[in-house]
Amino acid sequence: MKDIQLEAKALIEIGKNPSISQRHFAASSGISLGKANYVIKALLNKGYIKLCNFSESEEKRKYSYLLTPKGIKQKAKISGDFLKAKMKEYDRLQQEIMELKQEVENGQQY
């Protein structure tokens, strides 16, 4: 998976679950923990997310990620781009299905 795709996935996952761990993100994305750390750091450096720790938590190593306004905007852009790509794919598949149906109706075989 490309870095931009991983960043998009991370933004979506963080939007759903701000307390997601890097370990959980790595496992759900099928990447190494090191790669997950790299992606999260890239999002932090770009200003898409910020890191907050749970001050009232007994386990001080737990963190929460918050989408920044810039991150929310990027997530919306990515979601829009993803939707457009899926709609294009859907239209292409519909066309392919229609062509296959016509071939079957005309008695053509592969």
Residue 54, classed as helix, strand or coil, is coil
Domain borders along the chain are 3-105
Place of tokens 């992606």: 39
pLDDT tens column, 49-108:
998 876 555 555 677 899 999 999 999 998 888 889 899 999 999 999 999 999 998 886
pLDDT for the residue 47: 95
Q: Are 78 and 8 in contact (CB under 8 A)?
A: yes
According to the CATH classification, is domain 3-105 in 3.30.365.10? Answer: no
Model pTM above 0.85: no
